[in-house]
Structures are given as structure tokens and as C-alpha cells.
Structure 1
Amino acid sequence: MRKLLLKLSLHLIAVLPLAVLQVIGSGLGLLAYVCSKQFRSLFRPQYEAVVKSHHLPSKLWQAVRASGMLFSDSLWIWRNPQKALQLVEVQNWDVVESAINEGHGLVMLTPHLGGFEIIPRVLAQHFPATILYRPSRQEWLNEVVETGRAYPNMHFVPTNLHGVRQMTRALTRGEAIGILPDQVPSGGEGVWVPFFGRPAYTTPLPARLANRNNTPVVMFTAKRKSIGKGWLMQATRLAPLSEDATTAATELNVAIENAVLIAPEQFIWSYNRYKHPAGAELPPRD
């Protein structure tokens, strides 16, 4: 009964106008920061280290509010995909068209920033996309996410061998695949390379898939505009990634850093990007 009520609440919230839901999300971000010591212990050090190292003005409270809007944006996009598509301004689309027209498919990278959930829906208007995702350990939450993400021309596959095989087949057909490159992979599936100056366990999977058939790799961002105004989606084609896993993961993290710095207040700083997954080797010492 508790799960049913929560799922119903999420659906009801998503019916609200985007501006209202973003204000609610902003409040939830503040509430999480004030009430959760664990949230603060992850969020503040990661955010402040980056703004200090890059000599950026600190906008901590703006970033805290935006952390709640990451969730509210996703809910609204899932519930209102057509309205959301009308609120996205797409720049550099010629980069995407040029890449897909080469006929080798497209590796689409989308960090957890702003309205990142709108990106695959924009691509799905033009060609099929197979998206890699990690199922939640909570069955009810996984059901909510899978139902919300369902969309024509988008096919979601889990982060396992079967999912990787499906992505390989999609590239062979000249289609797009999508990967969230800032997630920590499972032990044995990544390498330790710097991310904003600290060792972070990073997946070399995008390079492995792209290098099979000279597939273009494009980094996408969806920077949130002002409240209720939608998102600015931008595409940047990356140089071919190295065949060496460690070098490729390093190149990937540099590209993610550049994407984050477009709107550092809108990144998912509450996520422990530097955790040591079970089964992974220890990170290298300085």
C-alpha cells in the first residue's frame, strides 16, 4: 500500500506545470541538504572542490536547489514528453546529423546534468536509440523509472552482457546508443583515472563500443534555463577515443568535466562519483 501511494504521488506531481514542479524540486533539494548529513557530506565537498580548483564563484545554495530539480525535471519530462520537446532549444544539431549520416551509428553520452532525460527523446524523433541503464535495487522504484522512461523509438537495456550485445547490434544497424558516462561501473568493469583531480572508477565501455566500427561519439548536455522555461541542449563531437582502456577513460572524464563546467550548479553532486565498488582494485596512490 505504501508503494502504491508513493507511485501515485509521483504521477500526480508530474501533472503539475513545469515551473511549479521545479519550485517543489528546489524545495526538496534544500530539505535534503539541511536534513541529511550524508547528502551534505557528498554534495558540498565535491561541489566546492571543483569551483575552487577552477576559480569559479561559489553558488552552493543554487546548486543545492538545482539538485532537487534534477529529479523534478525528470518526472515532468517522463509524464509530459511532447510538452517537454516544445521547451527544448537544440543547438549544434548539424553535429548530430553529420555523425549519424556516416552510417556507423552514434554513441550518445549524457551526464546527469540539468534536464538530461530530454536528450534521448530529442534523438528518438529522428532515429532509434538504445539506452543503457542500471536497474534500481528497489522493485517499485525500478517500475516507476521504467514506466516513465518508456518512449517510442527508445529501447532500454540493462548494464550487463546481454545489454552490451544489444547495443553492439544497434550500432551495427547504424542506430544510436546512449550511455550515462558519469556513473560508477561495477567492480572489474572500469579503471581508475582522474575526475576533477581525484581518482574515479570510470567505464571504458564507450570507447570499446565506438572503436569497433569507427562510430562517432557525441557528448550532450541539457542546461536548464530559468524556472519553467525548459532547457538548452548542446552537442559536442569528441575526438576518437584511444584503444587503450585507461587512456580512453581519461579522455572520457575530461569530456565529462568540460560538459559539467557548462553549468556546474546543475550537476548531480550528491552522487558519490569517487566510491570504491565491490570487486574493484584499489585506486592508485599518489
Structure 2
Amino acid sequence: MSHWALHFILKSVASLPLGLAQILGGFGGIVAFTFFPHFRSLFQENYHHAMQLHGKKTHSLKAAAASGMLFIDSLWIWHNPQKALERADVQDWSPVDQAVQEGKGLVMLTPHLGGFEIIPRILATHFPATILYRPARQEWLNNLIEEQRAYPNMHFVPTNLQGVRKMVKALQEGEAIGILPDQVPSGGDGVWVKFFNRYAYTTPLPARLANRNQTPVILFSAIRKSLGQGWTIKAHRLASFSDDAHHAATQMNQAIEAVILEAPEQFIWSYNRYKHPEGAELPPQE
């Protein structure tokens, strides 16, 4: 299939009503789980380990469908930002208001859970937000993502030194920055700490940026409601991070785990969270 054809299909799906798009996404997740052994193996290993660790039952097909819905939710939110905002049920915005009033900016953490792409758009309706992202390896896909993600008051910066400098500047100006805290950083940029009791290479960047000026850190979640109904948005203010990079990364991972366990099937279990990035030191022995 050509890039243009895939581009057309993705945009066509994003143009559907949300409920129908989510049904298609769920079907795609089940197809991937059924017919792609690598997807199924990685998904099962991550999902079953985390659920068994916390004594929860596993619902593999339900979780696989939710993974497909997560991808479709992102596409739909990019393509229909105003409709998506209307379907965002914000439970309590006061932690964000209180943090912003402190005048030190805001560090926004959004794990790959449910409709996480709606969160920066909610923030952007209140104040500017600078979002750190890793460009896709395929140029056509990166162009599609950048085109669809574009939104007023949102500024995307790449995961490099220049991007980090722009985030520091945004915080100095009292603005918000956004980081995907469950994404594996490049070799040399992370630390090995536990995530669901397995060593995962984890970014210490949120703690470093927050500790520069005691900037408030908010962990957001966007849990999918029933088909076509949107997402429930929650904001959890985190306690101050330790100055020790390993301890701070552990604090962050524990907070992310707690949010995931509110709707575990909606997390992106097919992502290789425990991989060893090139250039990183070996993880500690289990």
C-alpha cells in the first residue's frame, strides 16, 4: 500500500463519528493481536505481568481492542479538536489552576493511556503549551503527524538539546511543557528503574526540569468512556521530585502505574517499554 493511500485511509477514518471510528480501531487491535505474533507476544508479556503483579484478572482481547482504539482516538482528536474538547469530561481542574497561579510554569505528564492526545489541547485553551515529541522515522508519517497535531497555542519541539532549551525557556516564561513520561529515552538520556517491578529505561528529564525552580508537576489521565462518549480527564498533582535521578524516576513511574491501574486495558501494552536502547548501559540484574 502506498503512503498516499494509507494517508487517505487514516484521514477518512478520522472523519467518521467517534463511536464508529473506535469500533474500527478496536477491530484493528484484535486483528493485530490475532494475526501478528510479535505484537501478541510483546502485548501479552507486558500486560499479563502487570496484571498478575497487582492481582488483577486479564482481559486480553478487550485490552487489544483498546490498544486499537487508543491509536484511533489520537487520529480522531487530531482531526476533530473542537468536537473532541466537547467530549472531554474534566473532573477537577483546580490542581492545574493552583499550580499555574504559583507562577513557575507547569510540567505536564501524559502517559499513553486512553485519549491522552486531548490533554494538551485542553491546556492550550488556557495557556501556551510546549510539547516534547520524538519525530517518526518515516518522513511521510512524521509529516502526517505534524500536520494533524498542529493546534493554536501548542508548540512541538523534538527530543534533542534544542528542544530541551525551548522547554526551559517556556517554563521561565510561566508556560506549560508536556512530556510523554512512559516513552523509552535515547541511550545515555535515561536511568534504569522499576516499572511494574521490571527494570525500564526511564527519562529523568521531568524531574530535572521541575527541580530547577520547584515547578509544579501534574500527571494527567484521559480515560475512555463508552463508545463515542469521549474521555474522563483527571489531573493529579505529584509531590516534589527527589534530587536523585534514580529516586525521582522511581517516584514518577509509581505515579504512572497508579493512573494506569484505574483503567489498565487502555494502556499501550504493545509498546516495548523494557527495551535496551542503543548506547545505554546494561540494566541491573533482576
Q: TM-score range by the shorter chain?
A: over 0.9
Determine helix, strand or coil for the equivalent of 1:280. Answer: coil
The 2-side partners of 1:2 and 1:265 are apart by 32
Superposition pairs for residues 32-47 of structure 1, below 5 Å?
32-47=32-47
The 2-side partners of 1:10 and 1:198 are apart by 35
- Aligned-residue sequence identity (percent) comes to 64
Partner of 2:18: 18
Cα deviation per residue 1:45-76 (whole Å; 9 max; x = unaligned)? 11111111111122211101000001110111
The 2-side partners of 1:4 and 1:63 are apart by 30
Partner of 1:5: 5
The 2-side partners of 1:51 and 1:274 are apart by 16
Partner of 1:196: 196
* Bigger mean CA deviation after superposition, 275-284 or 54-63: 54-63
Q: CA offset at residue 243 of structure 1? A: 0.8
Determine helix, strand or coil for the equivalent of 1:221. Answer: strand
The 2-side partners of 1:141 and 1:174 are apart by 32
Gaps of 5+ in 1: none
Letter in 1 for 2:254: V
TM-score, structure 1 length as denominator? 0.99
Partner of 2:274: 274
For the pair 1:59 / 2:59, whether they are aligned, the reply is: yes
Letter in 1 for 2:107: V
The 2-side partners of 1:58 and 1:189 are apart by 33
Partner of 1:226: 226
TM-score, structure 2 length as denominator? 0.99
Cα deviation per residue 1:117-175 (whole Å; 9 max; x = unaligned)? 00000000000000000000000110111111100000000000000000000000000
The 2-side partners of 1:139 and 1:264 are apart by 32
Cα deviation per residue 1:159-198 (whole Å; 9 max; x = unaligned)? 0000000000000000000000000000000000000000
State how many pairs are aligned: 286
The 1-side partners of 2:25 and 2:35 are apart by 15
Tell me which stretches of 4 or more aligned residues in structure 1 moved more than 3 Å: none
Partner of 1:86: 86
Partner of 1:134: 134
Partner of 2:165: 165
Superposition pairs for residues 94-109 of structure 1, below 5 Å?
94-109=94-109
Letter in 2 for 1:40: R
Letter in 2 for 1:131: I
